[in-house]
């Protein structure tokens, strides 16, 4: 830790020079906290609780679409599981969401080259008439190309966006891909189209379409909209090379303005700083095609496994650790927004938040989003995580979808970035199943979460950007 002290000293000096608040702490872990953290890491690398949680959730509940009876069953299941693990104050915080579910989906090329295409409806797709609608396909390379098309040029047609997504370690290809998925129906409707097809988001070559949400107000978007599997997008493109292609698209949906959902919450009660919260979260809902193992059963197993290790220590941590299994993330971050509404008055008690929602790949980088004065605390966490193969990230962590609202409200967040190179091979497809989780990588995640969560809970360090009002250091 000597080097950390040195860096912290330089930072403190810089803070004085530039006139920033001079409450920078010379950070170090007490021998007791360091020893307990080491023990937590060792225990986490043998974790059974977290992995069992994902196995049981994905086996006994399976898919759990936001607002569906399956998600309701998942809440009951999770409540029971968390109570059995002896967490404190286990509860559901209810809210309602606009509900959407597919009831049928198919697509078929008609005419001389008649054949079926593999599709799946996007969340929020409108229904077609029973028996399907029939229209000519107009292909676009990108969403921008569709947006640039002449007004009414797609009257009575189906727009097809063939944009590809590429693999990256940090998943950065997903943002662009999501714009296509989210925006296709609106852009196509503006040009007079009757439906929209996209090449599946995702990076796998299999004949499996990838579902996901689209822009909508309430339960429904602008048009019937579906994703073609990658090979089917290729097939459609080859057919279009040979001449006009006409397709029958048949989608059935059910929807409701208000369906029950909820956040499942469990805590490890703190001691002398009990009213201060370290939040670690995941989302309990999933898409309906797979069993939601990587997205996001794994995240829930990781945070539950980490919290359980801390709960089992001989002494309570100083701050309260709050595990939040958010509801209805996939269908529009409803759980995150409900949490912010329901906890708006005590967001200033949230001292740190983190979320695991990127599968179960090894954590390769640890980013923080702390106040300048707390950079030395970030350095301590990074040093502790180095032996787990985690490299040092910057101080620009986004946190994750469900805790974005907390970050924007000023809650410090960390991003333990997982290796996402194969995440989008499975994500939102029928192939997102329990066998895709590598237990060793999963346990490394549990170790990282247990370590930084315990340090944040036990040191009492203040990570915020504004000057602390009540906090001391360790
Ligand atoms: Zn997710
Ligand atoms: Zn997802």
Q: Using one digit for the tens of pLDDT, what is the confidence trace for 269-282?
A: 999 999 999 999 99
Per-residue pLDDT band at 8 (split at 50, 70, 90): very low
| Range scoring the smallest mean pLDDT among 111-115, 176-180, 365-369 | 176-180
pLDDT of res. 25: 52
Q: Which residue reads 């958010």 in tokens? A: 326
Same domain, 199 and 62: no
- Domain endpoint, select from 191, 215, 244: 244
Cα 367 to averaged position of ligand 1 atoms, centre (Å): 19
**Domain boundaries, position 219:** 114-244
> 227 in a domain, yes or no?
yes
- Residue 281 is part of a domain; what is its CATH number? 3.40.630.10
The CATH number covering residue 148 comes to: 3.50.30.30
Report d(CA 460, CA 319) in Å as an integer: 7
Predicted confidence band of residue 168 (pLDDT cuts 50, 70, 90): confident
| CA dist., res. 225 & res. 200, Å (int) | 12
- Ranges 44-48, 125-129, 155-159, 201-205: which has the least confidence: 201-205
Residue at 471 is within a domain:
no
| Mean pLDDT value of segment 246-273 | 98
* DSSP symbol at 434: G
Domain boundary among 244, 272, 292: 244
Cα→Cα distances 26→1, 12, 16, 472, Å: 11, 8, 14, 12
Q: Is 253 helix (H, G, I), strand (E, B) or coil?
A: strand
Q: Is the peptide bond before 296 cis (omega within 30 degrees of 0)?
A: yes
Tell me: pLDDT of 471 over 50.
no
CB–CB of 52/461 below 8 Å?
Answer: no
Average pLDDT, integer, range 43-49: 97
In-domain check, residue 103: no
Q: How far is the centre of ligand 1, averaged over its atoms, from the C-alpha of 419 (Å)? A: 15
Indicate if the pLDDT at residue 418 is higher than 90: yes
* Dist. CA 283 → ligand 1 center (Å): 6
- H or E element in which residue 316 lies: none
Ligand approaching nearest to the C-alpha of 429: 2
Ligand 2 center from residue 428 Cα (angstroms): 6
Q: How confident is the model at residue 427 (pLDDT cuts 50, 70, 90)?
A: very high
Q: How many CA atoms lie within 13 A of 16 on its CB side?
A: 8
According to the model, what pLDDT value does residue 26 have? 62
Longest Cα–Cα distance in the chain: 77
Average confidence (pLDDT) over 246-275:
98
Give the closest residue to 122 by CA, choosing from 205, 191, 186, 168.
Answer: 186
Note whether 351 and 453 are within 8 A (CB). no
Contact, 237 vs 162, CB < 8 A? yes
Which domain-ending residue is among 222, 244, 266? 244
pLDDT score of 166: 86
Q: What percent of the chain has pLDDT over 90?
A: 89
> Does one domain contain both 276 and 373?
yes
* Residue 251 maps to a domain: no
Beta pairing class for 350-355 and 363-369? unpaired
Residues 92 and 165 in one domain: no
Distance 295 CA to ligand 1 centre (A): 5
Among 98-102, 174-178, 212-216, 325-329, where is mean pLDDT lowest?
A: 174-178
Shared domain for 234 and 301, answered yes or no, is: no
The SS3 of residue 336 is helix
Residues 283, 427, single domain; the answer is yes
* Inside any domain, residue 467: no
Tell me, yes or no, whether 383 and 301 share the same domain.
Answer: yes
What is the dihedral sign for C-alpha 434, 58, 229, 215?
A: negative
Q: What percent of the chain has pLDDT above 70?
A: 93
Residues 277, 406, single domain; the answer is: yes
Mean pLDDT of 280-304: 98
Strands (E), 63-194: 88-110, 115-117, 119-121, 133-140, 158-161
Q: What global pTM score does this model have?
A: 0.92
pLDDT higher than threshold 60 for residue 48: yes
Residues 283 and 229 in one domain: no
**Number of residues in the chain:** 474
Q: For residue 330, how far is its CA from the centre of ligand 1 (angstroms)? A: 6
Question: What's the number of domains the chain is made of?
Answer: 2
């Amino acid at each position: 830790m000597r080097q950390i002290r040195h860096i912290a000293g330089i930072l403190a000096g810089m803070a004085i020079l530039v006139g920033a608040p001079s409450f920078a702490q010379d950070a170090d872990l007490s021998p007791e906290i360091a020893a307990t953290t080491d023990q937590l890491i060792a225990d986490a690398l043998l974790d059974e609780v977290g992995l069992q949680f994902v196995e049981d959730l994905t086996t006994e509940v399976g898919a759990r679409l936001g607002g569906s009876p399956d998600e309701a069953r998942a809440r009951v299941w999770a409540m029971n599981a968390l109570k059995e693990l002896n967490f404190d104050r286990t509860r559901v915080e209810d809210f309602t969401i606009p509900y959407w579910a597919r009831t049928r989906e198919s697509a078929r090329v008609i005419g001389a080259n008649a054949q079926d295409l593999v599709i799946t409806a996007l969340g929020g797709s409108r229904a077609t008439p029973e028996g399907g609608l029939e229209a000519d396909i107009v292909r676009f390379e990108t969403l921008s190309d569709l947006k640039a098309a002449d007004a009414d040029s797609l009257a009575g047609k189906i727009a097809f966006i063939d944009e590809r997504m590429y693999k990256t370690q940090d998943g950065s290809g997903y943002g662009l891909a999501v714009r296509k998925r989210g925006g296709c129906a609106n852009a196509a409707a503006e040009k007079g189209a009757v439906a929209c097809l996209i090449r599946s988001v995702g990076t796998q070559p299999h004949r499996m379409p990838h579902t996901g949400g689209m822009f909508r107000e309430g339960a429904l978007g602008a048009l019937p909209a579906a994703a073609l599997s990658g090979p089917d997008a290729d097939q459609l493109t080859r057919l279009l090379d040979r001449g006009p292609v006409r397709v029958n698209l048949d989608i059935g949906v059910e929807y409701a303005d208000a369906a029950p959902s909820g956040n499942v919450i469990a805590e490890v009660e703190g001691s002398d700083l009990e009213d201060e919260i370290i939040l670690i979260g995941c989302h309990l809902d999933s898409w309906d095609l797979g069993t939601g193992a990587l997205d996001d059963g794994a995240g829930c197993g990781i945070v539950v496994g980490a919290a359980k290790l801390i709960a089992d220590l001989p002494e309570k941590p100083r701050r309260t650790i709050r595990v939040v299994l958010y509801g209805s993330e996939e269908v529009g971050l409803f759980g995150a927004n409900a949490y912010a509404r329901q906890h708006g008055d005590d967001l200033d008690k949230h001292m740190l938040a983190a979320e695991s929602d990127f599968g179960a790949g090894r954590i390769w980088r640890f980013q923080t989003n702390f106040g300048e004065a707390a950079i030395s605390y970030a350095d301590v966490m990074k040093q502790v995580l180095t032996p787990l193969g985690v490299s040092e990230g910057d101080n620009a962590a986004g946190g994750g979808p469900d805790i974005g609202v907390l970050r924007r409200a000023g809650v410090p967040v960390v991003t333990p970035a997982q290796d996402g190179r194969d995440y989008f091979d499975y994500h939102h497809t029928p192939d997102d199943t329990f066998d895709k989780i590598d237990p060793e990588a999963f346990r490394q995640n549990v170790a990282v979460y247990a370590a930084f969560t315990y340090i944040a809970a036990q040191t009492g360090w203040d990570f915020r950007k504004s000057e602390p009002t009540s906090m001391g250091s360790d």
